[in-house]
Homo-oligomer: A and B are copies of this chain.
Amino acid sequence: MNKYFERIERLRALMIGRGWDAVIVGGSDPHQSEYPASRWKQVEWLTGFTGEAGDVVITADHAGLWTDSRYFIQAVEQLEGTGVELHKTRVPQEVPIPEWLFATLGPNAVVAVDSLCQSAGDFEALAGRFDAVGVPDMLSVLWEGRPGIPQTPVFRVQSGESSEDKLAWLRIETAEAGADAALITSLDEVAWLLNVRASDIEYNPLVISYLLVTPDAAKWFVLKEEIEDPDTEAVFASLREEGVEVLPYQQIDLALDSLDCTVAVDPSSLNASLAQMVGGHALSWTSPVQLRKAMKNAYEQDCMRQVHVDDGVAMEKFLYWLEKSLDAGRTVTEWDAAVKLGQMRAAIEDYCGDSFETISAYGPGAALPHYITPHSDAPVLEPRGLYLVDSGGQYSRGTTDITRTIPLGPCSEEEIQHYTLVLKGHIALAMAKFPAGTPGCRLDVLAREPLWKAGLNFGHGTGHGVGFFLGVHEGPQDIRQNLNATPLYEGMITSDEPGLYVEGSHGVRHENLLLCVPAEETPFGEFLAFEPLTLCHFDTSIIDWTLLTEDEAFWLRAYNWSVYNRLSPLLEPEVAEWLKAKVSE
Protein backbone atom coordinates (compact mmCIF):
# COMPACT_ATOMS: atom_id res chain seq x y z
CA MET A 1 0.00 0.00 0.00
CA ASN A 2 1.18 3.47 -0.86
CA LYS A 3 2.72 4.97 2.29
CA TYR A 4 1.05 8.33 1.75
CA PHE A 5 -2.33 6.68 1.36
CA GLU A 6 -1.67 4.96 4.68
CA ARG A 7 -0.67 8.22 6.41
CA ILE A 8 -3.83 9.89 5.20
CA GLU A 9 -5.88 6.99 6.53
CA ARG A 10 -4.20 7.35 9.93
CA LEU A 11 -4.98 11.05 9.89
CA ARG A 12 -8.61 10.21 9.14
CA ALA A 13 -8.71 7.91 12.16
CA LEU A 14 -7.41 10.81 14.27
CA MET A 15 -10.07 13.10 12.77
CA ILE A 16 -12.85 10.70 13.76
CA GLY A 17 -11.51 10.51 17.30
CA ARG A 18 -11.36 14.27 17.63
CA GLY A 19 -14.60 15.03 15.81
CA TRP A 20 -12.97 16.98 12.97
CA ASP A 21 -14.77 17.05 9.62
CA ALA A 22 -11.78 18.36 7.72
CA VAL A 23 -8.08 19.01 8.18
CA ILE A 24 -6.09 21.59 6.24
CA VAL A 25 -2.34 21.04 6.01
CA GLY A 26 -0.25 23.91 4.69
CA GLY A 27 3.34 24.31 3.62
CA SER A 28 4.73 26.92 5.99
CA ASP A 29 6.40 26.98 9.41
CA PRO A 30 5.58 28.78 12.70
CA HIS A 31 7.17 31.97 11.27
CA GLN A 32 5.36 31.84 7.92
CA SER A 33 8.71 31.43 6.18
CA GLU A 34 8.72 31.09 2.39
CA TYR A 35 11.08 28.09 2.62
CA PRO A 36 10.43 25.94 5.71
CA ALA A 37 12.86 23.47 7.29
CA SER A 38 12.13 19.75 6.81
CA ARG A 39 10.28 19.52 10.13
CA TRP A 40 7.55 21.61 8.57
CA LYS A 41 7.38 19.97 5.17
CA GLN A 42 4.06 18.51 6.26
CA VAL A 43 2.49 18.44 2.80
CA GLU A 44 5.42 16.39 1.52
CA TRP A 45 5.22 13.98 4.48
CA LEU A 46 1.49 13.51 4.03
CA THR A 47 1.24 13.28 0.23
CA GLY A 48 4.74 13.06 -1.29
CA PHE A 49 4.21 16.34 -3.17
CA THR A 50 7.41 18.42 -3.06
CA GLY A 51 6.33 21.63 -4.83
CA GLU A 52 7.02 24.89 -3.02
CA ALA A 53 3.36 25.91 -2.98
CA GLY A 54 0.55 23.56 -2.05
CA ASP A 55 -2.16 23.03 0.56
CA VAL A 56 -3.85 19.76 1.38
CA VAL A 57 -7.41 19.20 2.55
CA ILE A 58 -8.47 15.88 4.03
CA THR A 59 -12.09 14.99 4.75
CA ALA A 60 -13.70 11.64 5.54
CA ASP A 61 -14.05 10.79 1.87
CA HIS A 62 -11.80 13.20 -0.03
CA ALA A 63 -8.13 14.15 -0.13
CA GLY A 64 -7.12 17.10 -2.29
CA LEU A 65 -4.02 19.16 -3.09
CA TRP A 66 -4.48 22.80 -4.13
CA THR A 67 -1.57 24.11 -6.21
CA ASP A 68 -0.85 26.35 -9.21
CA SER A 69 0.16 25.74 -12.81
CA ARG A 70 3.90 25.63 -12.03
CA TYR A 71 3.29 22.29 -10.33
CA PHE A 72 0.44 20.63 -12.25
CA ILE A 73 2.62 18.07 -14.03
CA GLN A 74 4.74 17.37 -10.97
CA ALA A 75 1.65 17.00 -8.77
CA VAL A 76 0.00 14.47 -11.05
CA GLU A 77 3.18 12.36 -11.05
CA GLN A 78 3.86 12.61 -7.33
CA LEU A 79 0.26 12.06 -6.20
CA GLU A 80 -0.18 8.81 -8.11
CA GLY A 81 -1.39 6.07 -5.78
CA THR A 82 -1.93 8.40 -2.84
CA GLY A 83 -5.61 8.93 -3.47
CA VAL A 84 -5.01 12.68 -3.40
CA GLU A 85 -6.73 14.66 -6.14
CA LEU A 86 -5.28 17.78 -7.73
CA HIS A 87 -7.29 21.02 -7.40
CA LYS A 88 -5.90 23.71 -9.70
CA THR A 89 -5.39 27.24 -8.35
CA ARG A 90 -4.88 30.50 -10.28
CA VAL A 91 -7.08 29.19 -13.08
CA PRO A 92 -10.39 30.79 -14.15
CA GLN A 93 -12.55 27.98 -12.79
CA GLU A 94 -10.64 27.82 -9.48
CA VAL A 95 -12.60 26.80 -6.37
CA PRO A 96 -10.49 27.99 -3.40
CA ILE A 97 -10.30 25.81 -0.30
CA PRO A 98 -12.83 27.77 1.83
CA GLU A 99 -15.41 27.73 -0.97
CA TRP A 100 -14.80 24.04 -1.59
CA LEU A 101 -15.18 23.27 2.12
CA PHE A 102 -18.32 25.36 2.33
CA ALA A 103 -19.88 23.65 -0.68
CA THR A 104 -18.88 20.19 0.53
CA LEU A 105 -19.42 20.38 4.29
CA GLY A 106 -21.49 23.52 4.93
CA PRO A 107 -20.88 26.23 7.53
CA ASN A 108 -21.02 24.02 10.61
CA ALA A 109 -18.02 21.90 9.64
CA VAL A 110 -15.29 21.43 12.24
CA VAL A 111 -12.08 22.31 10.38
CA ALA A 112 -8.74 21.64 12.06
CA VAL A 113 -5.41 23.24 11.20
CA ASP A 114 -1.93 23.27 12.69
CA SER A 115 -2.20 26.60 14.51
CA LEU A 116 1.60 26.93 14.62
CA CYS A 117 1.88 26.85 10.85
CA GLN A 118 -1.18 28.94 10.01
CA SER A 119 -0.95 32.72 9.97
CA ALA A 120 -3.19 34.57 12.41
CA GLY A 121 -4.91 36.33 9.50
CA ASP A 122 -5.70 33.11 7.62
CA PHE A 123 -6.96 31.39 10.77
CA GLU A 124 -9.26 34.29 11.54
CA ALA A 125 -10.72 34.18 8.03
CA LEU A 126 -11.32 30.44 8.44
CA ALA A 127 -12.90 30.90 11.88
CA GLY A 128 -15.28 33.44 10.34
CA ARG A 129 -16.79 30.74 8.08
CA PHE A 130 -16.39 27.45 9.94
CA ASP A 131 -15.95 25.95 13.38
CA ALA A 132 -12.15 26.25 13.16
CA VAL A 133 -9.92 24.31 15.55
CA GLY A 134 -6.26 25.23 15.91
CA VAL A 135 -3.95 22.45 17.10
CA PRO A 136 -0.24 23.17 17.55
CA ASP A 137 1.91 20.50 15.86
CA MET A 138 -1.22 18.64 14.83
CA LEU A 139 0.59 15.95 12.81
CA SER A 140 3.27 15.14 15.44
CA VAL A 141 1.23 12.34 16.99
CA LEU A 142 1.19 10.55 13.62
CA TRP A 143 4.63 11.46 12.28
CA GLU A 144 7.16 8.94 13.59
CA GLY A 145 10.68 10.20 13.26
CA ARG A 146 9.55 13.75 12.55
CA PRO A 147 12.66 15.96 12.30
CA GLY A 148 13.23 18.24 15.25
CA ILE A 149 13.43 22.00 15.13
CA PRO A 150 16.79 22.70 13.42
CA GLN A 151 19.62 23.77 15.69
CA THR A 152 22.72 25.00 13.88
CA PRO A 153 25.50 27.20 15.30
CA VAL A 154 24.78 30.90 15.58
CA PHE A 155 27.24 33.59 14.52
CA ARG A 156 27.18 37.35 14.34
CA VAL A 157 27.61 39.50 11.26
CA GLN A 158 28.73 43.00 10.45
CA SER A 159 25.96 45.05 8.91
CA GLY A 160 27.10 48.64 9.36
CA GLU A 161 24.73 49.19 12.27
CA SER A 162 24.82 47.74 15.77
CA SER A 163 21.90 45.73 17.04
CA GLU A 164 21.63 48.20 19.94
CA ASP A 165 20.96 50.98 17.44
CA LYS A 166 18.51 48.83 15.51
CA LEU A 167 16.61 47.95 18.69
CA ALA A 168 16.60 51.60 19.81
CA TRP A 169 15.09 52.51 16.42
CA LEU A 170 12.49 49.74 16.72
CA ARG A 171 11.49 50.99 20.19
CA ILE A 172 10.79 54.44 18.77
CA GLU A 173 8.75 52.96 15.92
CA THR A 174 6.82 50.81 18.38
CA ALA A 175 5.99 53.78 20.61
CA GLU A 176 4.96 55.85 17.60
CA ALA A 177 2.61 53.08 16.53
CA GLY A 178 0.99 53.29 19.96
CA ALA A 179 2.28 49.96 21.29
CA ASP A 180 4.34 49.17 24.39
CA ALA A 181 6.20 46.22 22.90
CA ALA A 182 6.93 44.63 19.54
CA LEU A 183 6.84 40.90 18.84
CA ILE A 184 9.07 40.08 15.87
CA THR A 185 8.05 36.75 14.34
CA SER A 186 9.58 36.85 10.86
CA LEU A 187 12.94 35.09 10.89
CA ASP A 188 14.78 37.49 8.61
CA GLU A 189 13.61 40.43 10.71
CA VAL A 190 14.99 38.81 13.88
CA ALA A 191 18.30 38.07 12.13
CA TRP A 192 18.53 41.64 10.83
CA LEU A 193 17.73 43.24 14.19
CA LEU A 194 20.24 41.19 16.22
CA ASN A 195 22.90 40.87 13.50
CA VAL A 196 22.82 37.09 13.93
CA ARG A 197 22.83 34.27 11.42
CA ALA A 198 22.76 30.45 11.45
CA SER A 199 21.92 27.67 8.97
CA ASP A 200 18.62 26.51 10.40
CA ILE A 201 16.94 26.62 6.98
CA GLU A 202 18.59 25.45 3.75
CA TYR A 203 19.79 28.37 1.59
CA ASN A 204 18.51 30.85 4.21
CA PRO A 205 21.04 31.87 6.91
CA LEU A 206 18.37 32.21 9.60
CA VAL A 207 17.93 31.32 13.28
CA ILE A 208 14.56 29.86 14.20
CA SER A 209 13.52 32.19 17.01
CA TYR A 210 11.22 34.98 18.20
CA LEU A 211 12.16 38.41 19.49
CA LEU A 212 10.11 40.39 21.99
CA VAL A 213 11.21 44.01 22.40
CA THR A 214 9.88 46.12 25.26
CA PRO A 215 11.02 49.64 26.22
CA ASP A 216 13.69 48.33 28.57
CA ALA A 217 14.27 44.74 27.54
CA ALA A 218 14.73 42.52 24.52
CA LYS A 219 14.01 38.81 24.88
CA TRP A 220 15.28 36.41 22.26
CA PHE A 221 13.56 33.03 22.28
CA VAL A 222 15.89 30.58 20.58
CA LEU A 223 16.47 26.82 20.63
CA LYS A 224 20.13 25.82 20.80
CA GLU A 225 20.22 23.42 23.79
CA GLU A 226 21.35 20.45 21.74
CA ILE A 227 24.37 21.77 19.99
CA GLU A 228 26.65 22.78 22.88
CA ASP A 229 28.63 25.01 20.56
CA PRO A 230 31.12 27.38 22.25
CA ASP A 231 30.84 29.92 19.42
CA THR A 232 27.07 30.01 19.83
CA GLU A 233 27.56 30.46 23.58
CA ALA A 234 29.91 33.36 22.86
CA VAL A 235 27.23 34.96 20.66
CA PHE A 236 24.69 34.58 23.44
CA ALA A 237 27.15 36.14 25.89
CA SER A 238 27.78 39.10 23.60
CA LEU A 239 24.05 39.65 23.20
CA ARG A 240 23.51 39.50 26.96
CA GLU A 241 26.15 42.19 27.33
CA GLU A 242 24.11 44.31 24.92
CA GLY A 243 21.06 43.81 27.11
CA VAL A 244 19.37 41.03 25.14
CA GLU A 245 18.03 38.19 27.29
CA VAL A 246 18.49 34.80 25.62
CA LEU A 247 15.68 32.43 26.54
CA PRO A 248 14.50 28.98 25.43
CA TYR A 249 12.40 29.04 22.21
CA GLN A 250 9.36 27.44 23.86
CA GLN A 251 9.17 30.10 26.58
CA ILE A 252 7.64 32.55 24.10
CA ASP A 253 4.26 31.10 25.13
CA LEU A 254 4.88 31.89 28.79
CA ALA A 255 6.21 35.36 28.03
CA LEU A 256 3.17 36.27 25.94
CA ASP A 257 0.73 34.72 28.40
CA SER A 258 2.07 36.86 31.23
CA LEU A 259 2.38 40.04 29.17
CA ASP A 260 0.20 42.91 30.29
CA CYS A 261 0.74 45.63 27.69
CA THR A 262 -0.02 46.40 24.04
CA VAL A 263 2.12 44.34 21.66
CA ALA A 264 2.61 45.24 18.01
CA VAL A 265 2.36 42.10 15.86
CA ASP A 266 2.52 41.56 12.12
CA PRO A 267 -0.32 39.19 11.12
CA SER A 268 1.55 38.17 7.98
CA SER A 269 4.18 36.28 10.02
CA LEU A 270 2.43 35.79 13.39
CA ASN A 271 1.02 32.29 13.77
CA ALA A 272 -2.48 31.54 15.05
CA SER A 273 -1.19 29.86 18.19
CA LEU A 274 0.79 32.92 19.31
CA ALA A 275 -2.04 35.21 18.23
CA GLN A 276 -4.30 33.43 20.68
CA MET A 277 -1.80 34.02 23.49
CA VAL A 278 -1.39 37.71 22.72
CA GLY A 279 -5.16 37.98 22.49
CA GLY A 280 -6.57 41.41 23.17
CA HIS A 281 -3.12 42.91 23.76
CA ALA A 282 -2.32 42.76 20.05
CA LEU A 283 -1.98 45.81 17.85
CA SER A 284 -1.66 44.80 14.20
CA TRP A 285 0.96 46.54 12.10
CA THR A 286 3.12 45.97 9.10
CA SER A 287 6.45 45.52 10.80
CA PRO A 288 8.62 48.56 9.99
CA VAL A 289 11.66 46.26 9.97
CA GLN A 290 10.63 45.01 6.52
CA LEU A 291 11.09 48.35 4.80
CA ARG A 292 14.14 49.43 6.80
CA LYS A 293 15.88 46.11 6.14
CA ALA A 294 15.23 46.46 2.41
CA MET A 295 16.97 49.86 2.29
CA LYS A 296 20.60 48.81 2.48
CA ASN A 297 22.97 51.17 4.28
CA ALA A 298 26.31 52.34 2.86
CA TYR A 299 28.21 49.45 4.48
CA GLU A 300 25.84 46.86 3.07
CA GLN A 301 25.92 48.47 -0.37
CA ASP A 302 29.74 48.41 -0.38
CA CYS A 303 29.84 44.78 0.69
CA MET A 304 27.32 43.85 -2.00
CA ARG A 305 29.47 45.57 -4.62
CA GLN A 306 32.55 43.68 -3.40
CA VAL A 307 30.96 40.27 -3.17
CA HIS A 308 29.57 40.62 -6.67
CA VAL A 309 33.12 40.93 -7.96
CA ASP A 310 33.99 37.55 -6.45
CA ASP A 311 30.69 36.03 -7.48
CA GLY A 312 31.25 37.34 -11.01
CA VAL A 313 34.71 35.76 -11.09
CA ALA A 314 33.15 32.43 -10.12
CA MET A 315 30.54 32.80 -12.87
CA GLU A 316 33.09 33.70 -15.56
CA LYS A 317 35.38 30.83 -14.55
CA PHE A 318 32.40 28.51 -14.74
CA LEU A 319 31.35 29.79 -18.18
CA TYR A 320 34.94 29.42 -19.41
CA TRP A 321 35.10 25.87 -18.08
CA LEU A 322 31.76 25.07 -19.68
CA GLU A 323 32.74 26.33 -23.12
CA LYS A 324 36.14 24.61 -23.05
CA SER A 325 34.62 21.34 -21.83
CA LEU A 326 32.09 21.26 -24.64
CA ASP A 327 34.71 22.34 -27.18
CA ALA A 328 36.83 19.39 -26.03
CA GLY A 329 33.89 17.07 -26.55
CA ARG A 330 33.57 16.12 -22.87
CA THR A 331 30.17 14.97 -21.61
CA VAL A 332 28.66 17.54 -19.25
CA THR A 333 25.21 17.03 -17.76
CA GLU A 334 23.03 19.73 -16.24
CA TRP A 335 23.92 18.31 -12.84
CA ASP A 336 27.70 18.30 -13.55
CA ALA A 337 27.48 21.96 -14.51
CA ALA A 338 25.56 22.87 -11.34
CA VAL A 339 28.14 21.05 -9.20
CA LYS A 340 31.01 22.80 -10.99
CA LEU A 341 29.42 26.22 -10.47
CA GLY A 342 28.93 25.42 -6.77
CA GLN A 343 32.62 24.56 -6.50
CA MET A 344 33.60 27.86 -8.09
CA ARG A 345 31.56 29.73 -5.51
CA ALA A 346 32.78 27.57 -2.63
CA ALA A 347 36.30 28.84 -3.30
CA ILE A 348 35.26 32.35 -2.22
CA GLU A 349 36.49 33.07 1.29
CA ASP A 350 33.22 34.09 2.95
CA TYR A 351 30.98 31.68 1.00
CA CYS A 352 28.36 30.18 3.31
CA GLY A 353 26.38 28.13 0.80
CA ASP A 354 24.10 28.74 -2.16
CA SER A 355 21.21 31.17 -1.85
CA PHE A 356 18.81 28.70 -3.51
CA GLU A 357 19.01 25.43 -5.42
CA THR A 358 20.80 26.06 -8.71
CA ILE A 359 18.59 25.78 -11.79
CA SER A 360 20.85 24.25 -14.44
CA ALA A 361 18.63 23.59 -17.43
CA TYR A 362 19.30 22.72 -21.05
CA GLY A 363 16.81 23.06 -23.90
CA PRO A 364 13.27 22.01 -22.92
CA GLY A 365 14.21 21.93 -19.22
CA ALA A 366 14.84 25.67 -19.35
CA ALA A 367 11.25 26.16 -20.50
CA LEU A 368 10.20 25.44 -16.89
CA PRO A 369 10.92 28.58 -14.82
CA HIS A 370 11.14 26.44 -11.64
CA TYR A 371 12.96 23.47 -13.17
CA ILE A 372 14.63 21.13 -10.71
CA THR A 373 17.88 19.70 -12.06
CA PRO A 374 17.85 15.94 -11.47
CA HIS A 375 20.72 14.51 -9.39
CA SER A 376 21.00 11.43 -11.55
CA ASP A 377 20.42 10.86 -15.25
CA ALA A 378 20.42 14.61 -15.84
CA PRO A 379 20.17 15.72 -19.49
CA VAL A 380 23.49 16.12 -21.29
CA LEU A 381 24.41 19.56 -22.67
CA GLU A 382 24.63 19.41 -26.46
CA PRO A 383 26.68 21.85 -28.60
CA ARG A 384 23.56 23.62 -29.89
CA GLY A 385 20.66 25.66 -28.51
CA LEU A 386 20.33 27.42 -25.18
CA TYR A 387 21.48 26.51 -21.67
CA LEU A 388 20.05 28.45 -18.71
CA VAL A 389 21.69 28.69 -15.30
CA ASP A 390 20.04 30.54 -12.40
CA SER A 391 22.08 30.47 -9.19
CA GLY A 392 23.38 32.49 -6.28
CA GLY A 393 25.51 32.43 -3.17
CA GLN A 394 25.25 33.42 0.46
CA TYR A 395 28.30 35.28 1.73
CA SER A 396 28.92 37.30 4.87
CA ARG A 397 29.21 40.22 2.46
CA GLY A 398 25.77 39.63 0.99
CA THR A 399 23.50 37.51 -1.17
CA THR A 400 23.75 37.01 -4.94
CA ASP A 401 21.27 35.83 -7.58
CA ILE A 402 22.13 35.70 -11.27
CA THR A 403 20.73 34.05 -14.39
CA ARG A 404 22.58 33.70 -17.66
CA THR A 405 21.33 32.00 -20.81
CA ILE A 406 24.17 30.62 -22.90
CA PRO A 407 24.10 29.60 -26.54
CA LEU A 408 26.04 26.33 -26.66
CA GLY A 409 26.25 26.34 -30.46
CA PRO A 410 23.91 27.09 -33.39
CA CYS A 411 20.50 28.44 -32.34
CA SER A 412 17.19 28.63 -34.18
CA GLU A 413 15.86 31.96 -35.43
CA GLU A 414 13.20 31.82 -32.74
CA GLU A 415 15.83 31.27 -30.04
CA ILE A 416 17.82 34.23 -31.36
CA GLN A 417 14.74 36.49 -31.41
CA HIS A 418 13.67 35.41 -27.92
CA TYR A 419 17.19 35.75 -26.51
CA THR A 420 17.47 39.27 -27.90
CA LEU A 421 14.00 40.51 -26.93
CA VAL A 422 14.34 39.30 -23.34
CA LEU A 423 17.72 41.03 -23.15
CA LYS A 424 16.17 44.18 -24.64
CA GLY A 425 13.59 44.15 -21.84
CA HIS A 426 16.28 43.53 -19.23
CA ILE A 427 18.28 46.49 -20.52
CA ALA A 428 15.26 48.82 -20.76
CA LEU A 429 14.55 48.24 -17.07
CA ALA A 430 18.22 48.49 -16.07
CA MET A 431 18.45 51.87 -17.87
CA ALA A 432 15.31 53.28 -16.22
CA LYS A 433 15.41 56.62 -14.45
CA PHE A 434 12.36 57.53 -12.39
CA PRO A 435 11.06 60.02 -9.81
CA ALA A 436 11.53 59.17 -6.14
CA GLY A 437 8.33 57.55 -4.90
CA THR A 438 7.75 55.38 -7.99
CA PRO A 439 6.63 51.83 -7.13
CA GLY A 440 8.21 48.93 -9.01
CA CYS A 441 4.92 47.86 -10.59
CA ARG A 442 4.96 51.05 -12.65
CA LEU A 443 8.34 50.09 -14.18
CA ASP A 444 7.52 46.45 -14.91
CA VAL A 445 6.22 47.23 -18.41
CA LEU A 446 9.67 48.46 -19.48
CA ALA A 447 10.93 44.88 -19.33
CA ARG A 448 7.81 43.43 -20.97
CA GLU A 449 6.87 45.81 -23.78
CA PRO A 450 9.54 44.49 -26.21
CA LEU A 451 8.08 41.01 -25.71
CA TRP A 452 4.46 42.16 -25.84
CA LYS A 453 5.12 43.89 -29.15
CA ALA A 454 6.06 40.47 -30.56
CA GLY A 455 3.02 38.78 -28.99
CA LEU A 456 5.18 37.20 -26.26
CA ASN A 457 5.03 37.32 -22.44
CA PHE A 458 6.21 35.55 -19.31
CA GLY A 459 4.20 34.46 -16.30
CA HIS A 460 6.47 35.37 -13.40
CA GLY A 461 7.45 38.69 -11.81
CA THR A 462 10.26 40.76 -13.29
CA GLY A 463 12.00 41.55 -10.03
CA HIS A 464 12.06 40.54 -6.35
CA GLY A 465 13.82 42.19 -3.42
CA VAL A 466 17.08 40.55 -2.24
CA GLY A 467 18.38 40.49 1.34
CA PHE A 468 21.82 41.29 2.71
CA PHE A 469 23.12 37.82 3.64
CA LEU A 470 19.46 36.95 4.23
CA GLY A 471 16.68 35.55 2.06
CA VAL A 472 17.20 35.75 -1.70
CA HIS A 473 13.54 36.82 -1.81
CA GLU A 474 12.45 39.67 0.44
CA GLY A 475 9.87 42.43 0.45
CA PRO A 476 8.36 44.86 0.62
CA GLN A 477 9.23 46.12 -2.88
CA ASP A 478 9.09 44.22 -6.14
CA ILE A 479 8.81 44.86 -9.87
CA ARG A 480 5.90 42.86 -11.20
CA GLN A 481 2.42 42.87 -12.69
CA ASN A 482 0.63 43.08 -9.31
CA LEU A 483 -0.07 46.62 -8.13
CA ASN A 484 2.22 46.81 -5.08
CA ALA A 485 2.32 50.48 -4.05
CA THR A 486 5.64 50.28 -2.15
CA PRO A 487 8.07 52.73 -3.80
CA LEU A 488 11.59 51.78 -4.81
CA TYR A 489 13.82 53.60 -2.33
CA GLU A 490 17.52 54.39 -2.49
CA GLY A 491 19.49 51.39 -1.22
CA MET A 492 16.94 48.75 -2.21
CA ILE A 493 18.22 45.77 -4.18
CA THR A 494 15.86 44.19 -6.70
CA SER A 495 16.38 41.59 -9.40
CA ASP A 496 15.79 42.35 -13.08
CA GLU A 497 14.89 39.01 -14.64
CA PRO A 498 12.52 38.96 -17.58
CA GLY A 499 12.23 35.59 -19.29
CA LEU A 500 10.49 33.65 -22.03
CA TYR A 501 9.49 30.00 -22.05
CA VAL A 502 8.46 27.83 -24.98
CA GLU A 503 7.21 24.48 -23.73
CA GLY A 504 9.14 21.50 -25.04
CA SER A 505 11.69 23.71 -26.76
CA HIS A 506 13.69 26.32 -24.85
CA GLY A 507 13.74 28.98 -22.17
CA VAL A 508 15.49 32.33 -21.82
CA ARG A 509 16.06 34.43 -18.68
CA HIS A 510 18.55 37.25 -18.16
CA GLU A 511 18.98 38.33 -14.53
CA ASN A 512 21.10 40.93 -12.76
CA LEU A 513 20.62 42.43 -9.31
CA LEU A 514 20.08 46.19 -9.42
CA LEU A 515 20.85 48.65 -6.62
CA CYS A 516 18.52 51.66 -6.47
CA VAL A 517 20.70 54.80 -6.42
CA PRO A 518 20.15 58.57 -6.63
CA ALA A 519 20.40 59.86 -10.20
CA GLU A 520 19.86 63.62 -10.09
CA GLU A 521 17.78 66.37 -8.60
CA THR A 522 16.14 68.78 -11.05
CA PRO A 523 13.41 71.43 -10.82
CA PHE A 524 11.07 68.52 -11.59
CA GLY A 525 12.09 66.60 -8.47
CA GLU A 526 14.45 63.91 -7.26
CA PHE A 527 15.22 61.09 -9.68
CA LEU A 528 16.51 57.58 -8.95
CA ALA A 529 18.17 55.00 -11.19
CA PHE A 530 19.68 51.51 -11.04
CA GLU A 531 23.30 50.43 -10.63
CA PRO A 532 23.82 46.81 -11.75
CA LEU A 533 25.52 44.89 -8.93
CA THR A 534 25.89 41.64 -10.85
CA LEU A 535 29.11 41.37 -12.86
CA CYS A 536 29.06 38.74 -15.57
CA HIS A 537 29.01 39.33 -19.32
CA PHE A 538 25.97 38.70 -21.47
CA ASP A 539 26.82 36.53 -24.45
CA THR A 540 26.41 38.67 -27.58
CA SER A 541 27.23 36.00 -30.17
CA ILE A 542 23.60 35.32 -31.09
CA ILE A 543 22.16 38.80 -30.57
CA ASP A 544 20.04 40.26 -33.35
CA TRP A 545 21.40 43.79 -33.06
CA THR A 546 18.67 45.17 -35.32
CA LEU A 547 16.21 44.64 -32.47
CA LEU A 548 18.11 46.89 -30.05
CA THR A 549 18.01 50.68 -30.08
CA GLU A 550 21.33 52.52 -30.20
CA ASP A 551 21.03 53.31 -26.49
CA GLU A 552 20.36 49.67 -25.63
CA ALA A 553 23.29 48.44 -27.72
CA PHE A 554 25.51 51.04 -26.08
CA TRP A 555 24.39 49.97 -22.60
CA LEU A 556 25.11 46.34 -23.40
CA ARG A 557 28.61 46.97 -24.75
CA ALA A 558 29.42 49.32 -21.86
CA TYR A 559 28.15 46.81 -19.31
CA ASN A 560 30.15 43.96 -20.82
CA TRP A 561 33.31 46.07 -20.89
CA SER A 562 32.79 47.15 -17.28
CA VAL A 563 32.55 43.46 -16.36
CA TYR A 564 35.85 42.80 -18.12
CA ASN A 565 37.53 45.80 -16.52
CA ARG A 566 36.40 44.87 -13.02
CA LEU A 567 37.03 41.13 -13.21
CA SER A 568 40.02 40.66 -15.50
CA PRO A 569 42.66 41.51 -12.84
CA LEU A 570 41.27 38.63 -10.77
CA LEU A 571 41.10 36.07 -13.57
CA GLU A 572 43.77 33.69 -14.86
CA PRO A 573 45.31 35.19 -18.00
CA GLU A 574 43.67 32.68 -20.34
CA VAL A 575 40.24 33.28 -18.80
CA ALA A 576 40.78 37.06 -18.99
CA GLU A 577 41.74 36.73 -22.67
CA TRP A 578 38.66 34.62 -23.33
CA LEU A 579 36.44 37.17 -21.55
CA LYS A 580 38.03 39.99 -23.54
CA ALA A 581 37.11 38.22 -26.74
CA LYS A 582 33.56 37.70 -25.43
CA VAL A 583 33.02 41.39 -24.66
CA SER A 584 34.66 42.49 -27.92
CA GLU A 585 32.18 40.67 -30.13
Contact = CB atoms under 8 A, between A and B. Distances in A.
A452 B530 CA distance: 13
Contacts of A431: 453
A444 B527 CA distance: 17
A5 to B, nearest CB: 38
Contact of A457 (B443, B456, B485, B524): B524
Contact of A445 (B446, B453, B456, B457): B446
Interface string A410-448: 000000000000000000000111110001011111100
Given A445-B446, A446-B445, A525 B457 contact: yes
Contact of A443 (B445, B456, B483): B445
A457 B442 CA distance: 15
A549 interface: yes
A522 interface: yes
Given A441-B442, A445-B442, A452 B483 contact: no
Given A432-B449, A485-B483, A549-B549, A524 B455 contact: yes
A231 interface: no
A455 B456 CA distance: 31
A584 B520 CA distance: 39
A446 B525 CA distance: 19
B432 A527 contact: no
Given A441-B483, A446-B445, A522 B432 contact: no
A140 B549 CA distance: 64
Interface string A530-561: 00000000000000000001000000000000
A78 interface: no
A276 interface: no
Contacts of A446: 445, 449
A443 B443 CA distance: 9
B452 A433 contact: yes
Interface in A481-534: 481, 483, 485, 519-520, 522, 524-525, 527
A425 to B, nearest CB: 13
Interface string A229-269: 00000000000000000000000000000000000000000
A374 to B, nearest CB: 27
Contacts of A443: 445
Interface string A130-143: 00000000000000
B481 A452 contact: no
Contacts of A445: 434, 442-443, 445-446
Contacts of A439: 483
Range for the number of chain A residues in contact with chain B: 20 to 34
Contact of A452 (B434, B455, B456, B457): B434
A522 B483 contact: no
A481 B432 CA distance: 16
A519 B520 CA distance: 38
Contacts of A434: 445, 449, 452
Given A441-B442, A441-B483, A457-B525, A435 B452 contact: yes
A527 B452 contact: yes
B433 A457 contact: no
Contact of A442 (B444, B522, B524, B527): B444
A457 B483 contact: no
Interface in A453-488: 453, 455-457, 481, 483, 485
A25 to B, nearest CB: 32
A501 to B, nearest CB: 10
Contacts of A444: 442
A434 to B, nearest CB: 5
Contacts of A442: 441-442, 444-445, 481, 483
A439 B483 CA distance: 10
Contacts of A435: 452, 457
Contacts of A527: 452, 455
A522 B455 contact: yes
Contacts of A441: 441-442, 483
A442 B461 CA distance: 14
A524 B456 CA distance: 6
A504 to B, nearest CB: 12
A532 B527 CA distance: 31
A477 to B, nearest CB: 14
B549 A456 contact: no
A453 B529 CA distance: 9
A49 B527 CA distance: 35
Interface of A: 431-435, 439, 441-446, 449, 452-453, 455-457, 481, 483, 485, 519-520, 522, 524-525, 527, 549
28 contacts: A431-B453, A432-B452, A433-B452, A433-B453, A433-B455, A434-B445, A434-B449, A435-B452, A435-B457, A441-B441, A441-B442, A441-B483, A442-B442, A442-B445, A442-B481, A442-B483, A443-B445, A445-B445, A445-B446, A446-B449, A455-B519, A455-B520, A455-B524, A456-B522, A457-B524, A457-B525, A483-B483, A483-B485
Given A433-B449, A442-B444, A445-B445, 20 more contacts: A433-B453, A433-B455, A434-B449, A434-B452, A441-B483, A442-B445, A442-B481, A442-B483, A443-B445, A445-B446, A452-B527, A455-B522, A455-B524, A455-B527, A456-B524, A457-B524, A457-B525, A483-B483, A483-B485, A549-B549
